[in-house]
């Protein structure tokens, strides 16, 4: 860390700040890649990783043609949240943590009987989409909306499909999927630039010390 001189002790030229820049560059790239990797991996719905923020994920049916005399009810099989009827154009929440299911029941089925025990007698399925409950802090996504469709009844069970999915920011504007990728590439580029600049300074340090020593010898002679 220090170079000994007869008269004083001085820091080696370019060592301390250059190594600091190198560490900052490596740390920036490591954090960026770590956040990106965690975002691509599947995590438990009830765990919010460091560097992430929570978002709301809604499901909606823009068109719903059910069999005559039938309606859809959505609700959890765990927890204390209530049940609600699914209506066209009205978004609703779901949760993998609480095992949300969509039930197909007769219209005469009393709303007072909408509970976990009574609904077990009716056909049900989990939503055909993975829940997105968190995104990296650098992402502008605040809300996810998945549009579903009813494909009919197969072997007594309702079948649903995914029509489309959009990610919205806090202002309700559609988030361009390439924006997040550009931010990641920019951060990695900044990290590489810092590492390159720091490595150049570290390599230049011995040469500068050599030239400084030569100048001192010339002056003393």
- Asked if residue 93 has pLDDT above 90, the reply is yes
Mean pLDDT of the 159-173 span: 94
Question: Within 13 Å and on the Cβ side, how many CA atoms surround 150?
Answer: 22
- Asked if residue 68 has pLDDT above 70, the reply is yes
Do 92 and 80 share a structural domain?
yes
Token couple for 221? 């002679």
Do 109 and 23 share a structural domain?
no
Q: Work out the mean pLDDT of the chain and round it to a whole number.
A: 77
Residue 212 placed within a domain: no
Where does 132-176 show beta strands of DSSP type E?
Answer: 134-136, 143-154, 157-168
Residue 168 placed within a domain: yes
Tens digit of pLDDT for each residue in 128-147? 999 999 998 888 899 999 99
Do 127 and 63 share a structural domain?
yes
Tens digit of pLDDT for each residue in 109-125? 877 778 888 888 899 99
Residues above pLDDT 70, as percent of the chain: 57
CB burial of residue 178 (10 Å; 0-12, 13-18, 19+):
exposed
Would the CA dihedral through 67, 70, 74, 78 be positive or negative?
negative
- Segment among 21-30, 46-55, 127-136, 161-170 with least mean pLDDT: 21-30
Domain range for 22: 12-41
How many domains does the chain fold into?
2
Round to whole Å and give the CA distance between 107 and 105.
Answer: 6
């Amino acid at each position: 860390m220090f170079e000994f001189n007869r008269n004083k002790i001085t820091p080696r030229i370019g060592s301390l700040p250059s190594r600091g820049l190198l560490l900052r560059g490596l740390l920036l790239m490591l954090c960026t890649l770590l956040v990106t990797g965690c975002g691509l991996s599947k995590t438990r719905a009830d765990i919010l990783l460091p560097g992430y923020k929570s978002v709301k994920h809604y499901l909606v049916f823009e068109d719903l043609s059910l069999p005559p005399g039938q309606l859809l009810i959505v609700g959890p099989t765990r927890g204390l949240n209530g049940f609600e009827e699914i209506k066209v154009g009205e978004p609703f929440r779901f949760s993998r943590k609480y095992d949300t299911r969509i039930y197909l029941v007769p219209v005469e089925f009393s709303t007072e009987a909408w509970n976990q025990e009574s609904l077990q007698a009716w056909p049900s399925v989990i939503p055909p989409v993975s829940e997105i409950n968190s995104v990296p802090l650098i992402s502008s996504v605040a809300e996810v909306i998945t549009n579903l469709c009813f494909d009919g009844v197969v072997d007594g069970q309702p079948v649903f499909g995914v029509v489309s999915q959009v990610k919205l920011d806090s202002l309700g504007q559609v988030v361009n999927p390439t924006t997040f990728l550009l931010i990641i590439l920019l951060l990695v580029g900044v990290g590489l630039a810092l590492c390159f600049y720091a490595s150049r300074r570290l390599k230049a340090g011995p040469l500068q010390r050599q030239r400084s020593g030569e100048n001192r010898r010339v002056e003393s002679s």
